[in-house]
Amino acid sequence: MSKDKPLKIVIVGGGAAGMLSAITAAAKGARVTLLEKNQRIGKKLLATGNGRCNLTNIHMHLSHFHGRNPKFAYSALNRFNQDQTIQFFERLGVCHKIEDGGKVFPFSNQASSVLDVLRYELDWRGVEVMVDSEVKDIRQEKQGFVLTLKGKEPLRADRVILTTGGKAAPNLGTTGSGYLLAEKLGHKIVDPFPSLVQLKLAEPFLKQIMGVKFEGAAEIIVNNKTLARSAGEILFTDYGISGPAIFQLSRTAAQQLKGQEPVWVKVSLVNHLPEDELRQYLAKRFAEGPQKNLLFSLVGFIHKKLIPALLKQAGLQDVNKKAADLAPEEKEKIAVILQDWRFQVTATNTWTAAQATAGGIETGEIHPQTMESKLVPGLFFAGEIIDIDGDCGGYNLQWAWSSGYVAGTSAAAW
């Protein structure tokens, strides 16, 4: 390698982290080739934020990141933080807006506009983009690396950056292929599992309540101990439970499902009232409509599709009983289940439904300040392939931008 010639960097994976790595390395003077096995780059980016692309979050904090060693993310998140991310995309032409929870979206509400400006910048920086280019093997030699491609000539590189993502959304091209490449080069993989995903439940009445959506709260409980809490939109499905509040809990649920103890999700349909106020309200409601039966007494308070299942789970079999005839203990059962309705979790939904991957390349084998492998000099990592994953709300994309920036900058440095 001579300093008279620009470094030849090959980036494997054309997602968010790969594109940011390529732009950053090219801006530092490197000769960059970006490989993508799909027919186009940025396919998964188009699906983020329900097609709107949740770029980042203004409330960035290490507590929103997970993995065996979440502190690993600290250096990268500080070198290219949420403010720098916003400035970067503003420079590329993406106006931004801030929504509930600090979520940052393009003002256009189009993920495609984010991809458009990234593709333009790649082209303007002179990055060679090769699609339909699946890497089957990476071999280190004295003078760099040789990459074997399916159906194409091998490529040589001075440095390689692996940004192939995890296993979430395999229909968009993320199949975990990067793990195999990393393992061949000596790296360990923390077993991946789906994160930011729906939960499957054991209840037989789910089809009766599917489609019901509400603002509530949820907890993951094991051995009567709450391990995680979240509030927000919750949705019942024909197989279980979904919604942003559930996505935030899914990582904890998935981890606990590996153990022997049953995993429960506790749902609060009425989380805006303290327990005593709820009881007072129910007493008033029943007193003002004494002639109404149980089924009708709660109509207008909670979604009516939920009422039969909720009453049955509370142990109230006679749904035609008049409100005036309710015993104190029956009123108490209704009050309790409105804020503590428990369902046994049997599994998470599949990789196809997951928004993120938990697990990945062991962070202890990567330099956090540079994203370079401690085992293979000249090999770098960025994005979801690493054992770092974030909460719902722009945190995973920020990790992709931050780690991509650090990997691209470091790989292009002599």
Pick from 311, 317, 299, 318: nearest CA to 335: 311
Going across the sheet that includes 8-12, the strands are 128-130, 31-35, 8-12, 159-162, 379-381
Where residue 414 falls among pLDDT bands split at 50, 70, 90? confident
Domain ranges of the chain: 8-193+358-411, 198-348
Q: CB–CB of 366/132 below 8 Å? A: no
Confidence (pLDDT) at 1? 56
Q: How many CB atoms lie within 10 A of CB 38?
A: 18
In tens, the pLDDT along 192-215 reads: 999 999 999 999 999 999 999 999
Confidence (pLDDT) at 206? 96
In the CATH scheme, what is the code of domain 8-193+358-411?
A: 3.50.50.60
In tens, the pLDDT along 215-239 reads: 999 999 999 999 999 999 999 999 9
Burial of 19 (0-12, 13-18, 19+ CB in 10 A): buried
In tens, the pLDDT along 347-406 reads: 999 999 999 999 999 999 999 999 999 999 999 999 999 999 999 999 999 999 999 999
Residue 13 makes CB contacts below 8 A (sequence gap 6+) with 35, 36, 162, 163, 164, 165, 178, 383, 385
- The CA-based dihedral angle spanning residues 203, 207, 209, 213, taken in that order and rounded to the nearest 10 degrees: 100
- Segment 90-99 mean pLDDT: 97
Where residue 160 falls among pLDDT bands split at 50, 70, 90? very high
DSSP 362: -
Q: Is pLDDT at 43 greater than 80 in this prediction? A: yes
